[in-house]
């Protein structure tokens, strides 16, 4: 493996949920420990299953892994770290500032940025406190901070009081309140991250267009702030020997080859390793020791066939959606789970029934015209340009909130406005203009804002509160976009996931965020399921069997209703194939 040749002291593994970061980090730790090195494995992943992988309990302390000499592990609890971080910041002002101001600060501190920065706050000590880690040759981090977080921590000046003074806007400044005491430590940590002699970043992706695009964005973001020592690992590539006269396996292989061929020039230029798709769950030492090599692994208990779970298909979900005659349908989920394709499939299903539909997306990579590959009566399509609407939003905030700031304050506001939250808020404002159409037709929306962004809009967004204040006293009937999203009669939220452990956990966390925003998800959609399409290849049959537990968890623990969508042999492009995907006339594979 190239990424393991002459490894520096620090190794970071980063990538989208479900691509295999934890498994690769664990396998890397085992290999280095087996080679005689003393290794500390640190996980900051909220879905961490490091303890499960090694068959023991780790927790928030450095713990020797009994089964692997010279290996210790530590699981930083991001949620616990975030709560302690919030308490440290909000505690001193509770009872001093008005309750409304305190609530606003708490909401600013409720999202993913706070969790990420709090986790970074925890492990900067591991990068800077030599006494704490003096006995280890290598420290391996599962889930690295994003470039956005590091940029925020690099900013000069004092953050305390910035929000309370009303200088910020509804975005990501909240998590940075009160960081001045740690600034020297953060500076040293960022220097360690940017030093190629000490740190190596490993981008983990799958041979899929969506995750490769995400890896490219991460590469550019980290390189722009000086973290240039990067390697790329393509995980879970279907091996040629798995094809075995299986049309589905052959189609997957062809799709992966195309995605890799179309990978960006920047990613192609990185040192690159490819790991074959394994038939087994990556739990236990035997599995980990087989992950980083191509030695043949005997299949264990390969089912002769996997009985597809009895579950509704997408077309059956649309039956219930169509009964209302109009409304807003929002598809939410992490990147790479197939929201755009499923949004197109829902829209086509509705339009095929003669219902008027407006399909809209803000995904810059969502080539809806190519996905639809034609026109359909009753269906209109639009795309919101995230860059364009975000620039307009930034200009508005800088000309209003930033008009009277000094240079330092304006620099902080400009950095805040480069955050992911800013784009989501700007896109939501653009979506809000389209939402009004849902009173007369169906509006199907792809790439919706996250629950945290919706909370910010509700708690600190001027539009919703101003309308409530102005109209409420006059007895006038009114509906804001936020109220429409919270009304199950007007809005149906579909959470999209995959039948894998990490994507299901991330979808469950999204559902929790939405509920905090007063939005109850209407259904879950499990996409690209092998269990639903009876593969012939032994490797794919094994993996199909592994999906059953996650499908059962969605059906019994998470979702009020759900649909199971098979992995299709052919790319779901064109009206007929989108109907096939939905189960309207299920494609045989």
Helix (H) or strand (E) holding 352: helix 339-352
End-to-end CA distance of the chain: 35
Pick the closest to residue 11 from 288, 287, 196 (CA basis).
196
Is 193:153 a contact under the CB 8 Å cutoff? no
Tokens of 76: 């930083």
Contacts of 367 (CB under 8 A, 6+ apart): none
Nearest to 444 by CA among 568, 350, 550, 311: 350
Residue pair 548/531 in contact (Cβ under 8 Å)? The answer is yes
Give the closest residue to 326 by CA, choosing from 490, 216, 526, 447.
490
HSE, CB side, 13 Å, CA atoms: give it for residue 250. 6
User: And the tokens for 116?
Assistant: 């990420």
The rounded distance, in Å, linking the Cα atoms of 178 and 150 is 16
| DSSP state at residue 63 | E
Q: Could you list the active site residues?
A: 18, 20-23, 45, 502
* Half-sphere exposure of residue 524: CA atoms within 13 angstroms, side-chain side: 28
In the structure encoding, which two tokens stand for residue 521, read together?
Answer: 């998800």
Is 9 in contact with 139 (CB distance < 8 Å)?
A: yes
327 SS3 class: strand
């Amino acid at each position: 493996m190239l990424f393991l040749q002459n490894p520096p002291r620090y190794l970071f593994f980063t990538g989208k949920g479900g691509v295999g970061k934890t498994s690769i980090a664990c396998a890397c730790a085992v290999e280095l420990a087996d080679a005689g090195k003393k290794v500390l494995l640190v996980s900051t992943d909220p879905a961490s299953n490091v303890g499960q992988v090694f068959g023991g309990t780790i927790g928030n302390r450095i713990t020797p892994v009994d089964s692997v000499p010279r290996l210790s592990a530590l699981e930083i609890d991001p949620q616990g770290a975030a709560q302690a971080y919030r308490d440290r910041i909000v505690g001193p002002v509770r009872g001093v500032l008005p309750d409304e101001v305190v609530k606003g600060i708490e909401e600013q501190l409720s999202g993913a940025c706070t969790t990420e920065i709090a986790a970074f706050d925890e492990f900067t000590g591991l990068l800077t406190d030599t006494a704490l880690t003096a006995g280890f040759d290598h420290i391996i981090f599962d889930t690295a901070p994003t470039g956005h977080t590091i940029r925020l921590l690099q900013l000069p000046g004092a953050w305390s009081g910035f929000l309370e003074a009303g200088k910020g806007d509804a975005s990501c400044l909240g998590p940075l309140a009160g960081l001045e005491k740690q600034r020297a430590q953060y500076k040293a940590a960022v220097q360690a991250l940017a030093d190629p002699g000490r740190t190596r970043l490993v981008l983990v992706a799958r041979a899929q267009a969506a995750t490769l695009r995400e890896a490219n964005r991460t590469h550019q973001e980290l390189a722009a702030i000086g973290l240039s020592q990067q390697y790329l690992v393509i995980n879970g590539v279907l091996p040629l020997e798995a094809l075995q006269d299986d049309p589905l396996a052959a189609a997957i292989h062809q799709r992966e080859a195309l995605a890799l061929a179309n990978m960006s020039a920047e990613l192609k230029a990185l040192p690159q390793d490819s790991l074959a798709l394994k038939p087994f769950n990556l739990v236990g030492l035997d599995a980990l020791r087989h992950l980083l090599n191509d030695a043949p692994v005997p299949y264990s208990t390969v089912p002769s066939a996997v009985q597809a779970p009895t579950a509704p298909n997408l077309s059956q979900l649309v039956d219930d959606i169509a009964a209302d005659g109009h409304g807003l349908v929002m598809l939410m989920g992490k990147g790479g789970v197939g929201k755009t394709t499923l949004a197109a499939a829902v829209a086509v299903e509705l339009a095929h029934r003669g219902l008027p539909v407006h399909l809209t997306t803000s995904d810059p990579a969502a080539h809806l015209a190519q996905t639809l590959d034609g026109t359909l009566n009753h269906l209109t399509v639009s795309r919101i340009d995230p860059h364009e609407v975000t620039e307009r939003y930034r200009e508005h905030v800088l000309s209003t909130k930033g008009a009277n700031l000094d240079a330092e304050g304006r620099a902080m506001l400009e950095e805040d406005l480069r955050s992911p939250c800013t784009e989501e808020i700007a896109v939501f404002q653009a979506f809000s203009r389209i939402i009004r159409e849902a009173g007369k037709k169906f509006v199907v929306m792809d790439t919706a804002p996250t629950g945290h962004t919706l909370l910010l809009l509700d708690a600190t967004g001027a539009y919703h509160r101003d309308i409530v204040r102005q109209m409420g006293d006059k007895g006038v009937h009114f509906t804001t976009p936020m109220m429409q999203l919270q009304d199950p009669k007007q809005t149906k939220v579909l959470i999209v996931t995959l039948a894998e452990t990490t994507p299901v956990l991330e979808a469950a966390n999204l559902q929790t965020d939405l509920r905090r925003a007063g939005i109850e998800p209407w259904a879950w959609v499990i996409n690209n399921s092998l269990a639903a399409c009876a593969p012939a290849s032994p490797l794919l049959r094994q993996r199909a069997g592994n999906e059953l537990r996650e499908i059962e968890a969605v059906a019994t623990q998470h979702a009020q209703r759900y649909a199971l969508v098979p992995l299709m042999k052919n790319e779901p492009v064109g009206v007929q194939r989108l109907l096939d995907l939905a189960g309207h006339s299920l494609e045989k594979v």
